[in-house]
Structure 1
């Protein structure tokens, strides 16, 4: 009898977040699941790793989760590292991260702890997917997303992914019947127009809250933002090689050695 696929589940919202509990429920129907996730919210951590403090990975039992589940004191990338090096007895067939509470489309992929966990798995040669739902609420409804999450995960297990590539999946916050399907997309060109809300403590010391507005600068109909605005699930293949290959030849014409 063939072994079930081994699936590593992680996230950046914390091991108790409703999104990861929904993701675990789906993955339990596909394979053998091991969870290693942060013990507290780690949103916006990007690909940070822990260097100057100790790391803990404590066994936990939450709802109807898998037999092997760990709450980790580190970042999402730490969770994947410690899972591979210390917890798992074999290389997982798939790593899934999420389901994130909120968007990781467009420029958000750079800051995302959810996607950094998936990318860390990809660096290790493990097929990986980051899932996000466009609802920041702790009471977000993940049920409409579950069938699509299962299909995408099964297809990645079946086909694999090229070396150096992971999938960034974003799901619109609509009911099941309103989801029009899945669009293979590119990352939209966008940025954040940021401001700092400056305040003072009672002692007169300045402190700041980061605020900002997301601006989509891309009018293309092949982007993740267009797909989501039109009630499609967006799937963007993401590579962690950040080299601007198209610029290499032009850069070689510069007189950098003079």
Structure 2
């Protein structure tokens, strides 16, 4: 914790940390460690991998079951809440049922895989943020660029993902939001960190690009009576990227993309 961060600590401030990779993901522990410099931290997250659930309200047979699960955060262990449902439900249960007061901020992440451009509405990371915003809580989404094969990870026992830079970026934006409020009147700040050693100040304010970041692949001929999961890949046309777009910032210029988002999707 830096001197500036220690001066920012407020024991009465509550920061809710959620994710979509599951309560056992090392990314959520890294986000909680960053948030702990600024106030009380509470973790509510899906008990299992829930990537790409958007803002879904599933009706699982065990919906609403809540488990206390130990999570190592820095040098201490805290009791997190594993929710049997989606990321959005994890945020909702945290805000409405578990917390003893309204959180000051929701931090969603640190997600495995970037959440960029037209693909953000699929994101459970962003789904949790939209749920929080619907309850009047500003939200910060933090995602780390990773290969496709790491995005749906279930087993974190041998995870070797380096969250150091993303943790520093998380702390930087928590502090900035608490000091200055959301930029441009945003309700959600969507922050995407390239997978490299990067300082928190290496960022660009961006807008959502106009193409997909995750692209579904054409399906082979198959038996429609049997289950099948669509595969996807990361693919974009660099020549068509917006100069101020989020994909260009992360994937071409290799700096952190910071995109202010709002609830109003109305097209004027």
TM-score, normalised relative to structure 2: 0.82
Match among 32, 40, 43 for residue 32 of structure 1 = 40
Q: Using the TM superposition, give the Cα deviation of residue 52 of structure 1 relative to its aligned residue in structure 2, in angstroms.
A: 5.9
Moved more, 231-240 or 158-167: 158-167
Structure-1 residue corresponding to 2:248: 226
Whether 2:176 is the aligned partner of 1:155: answer yes
Structure 2 SS opposite 1:139: coil
Helix, strand or coil at the partner of 1:114: helix
Contact map agreement 2:110 2:166 (CA 8 A) in 1 = no
- Describe how 1:112-131 pairs up with structure 2 within 5 A: 112-131=123-142
Listed one character per residue, the Cα deviations across residues 70-108 of structure 1 (whole Å, up to 9, x for unaligned) are 000010000111111110011111100010000101112
Gapped regions of structure 2 (runs ≥ 5): 1-8, 151-158
Partner of 1:144: 165
Note if contact 1:118-1:128 (Cα within 8 Å) is conserved in structure 2: yes
Distance of 1:233 and 1:5 partners within structure 2: 27
Matched, 1:208 2:228: yes
1:241-256 alignment, distance < 5 Å: 241-244=264-267, 246=268
Shift of the alpha carbon at 1:221?
A: 1.6
Q: How far did residue 29 of structure 1 move?
A: 1.8
Per the alignment, do residues 66 and 122 of structure 1 end up closer, same or farther by CA in structure 2, a change over 3 Å counting? farther
Residues 166 and 116 of structure 1, relative CA distance in 2, 3 Å threshold: same
**CA pair 230-51 structure 1, distance change in 2 beyond 3 A:** same
Q: Any conservation in 2 of the 1:196–1:208 contact (CA below 8 Å)?
A: no
8 Å contact kept, 1:182–1:232 = yes
CA, structure 1 residues 180+159, in 2 after alignment: closer, same or farther (shift >3 Å)?
closer
Look up the match of 2:189. Answer: 167
Gaps of 5+ in 1: 247-258
Aligned partner (choices 107, 110, 113) of residue 118 of structure 2: 107
The aligned counterpart of 2:26 is: 18
Q: 1:81 aligns with which of 86, 89, 92?
A: 92
Q: What displacement does 1:66 show?
A: 6.0
In structure 2, C-alpha distance between the alignment counterparts of 1:111 and 1:74, rounded to whole Å? 16
Give distance in 2, aligned partners of 1:97 and 1:224: 18
- Given that residues 216 and 230 in structure 2 are in contact (C-alpha distance below 8 angstroms), is that contact kept between their aligned partners in structure 1? no
Q: Structure 2 CA distance, aligned partners of 1:237 and 1:105?
A: 12
Residue 12 to residue 121, structure 1, CA distance change in 2 (3 Å) = same
Deviating beyond 6 angstroms after TM superposition, the runs of 4 or more aligned structure 1 residues are none
Give the Å deviation of 1:67: 3.9
Aligned to 2:154: none
Q: Which moved more, 1:206-215 or 1:219-228?
A: 206-215
Q: What secondary structure, in the 3-state scheme, does the structure 2 residue paired with 1:63 have?
A: strand
- Whichever of the two has the greater Rg, that structure is 1
TM-score, normalisation: structure 1: 0.85
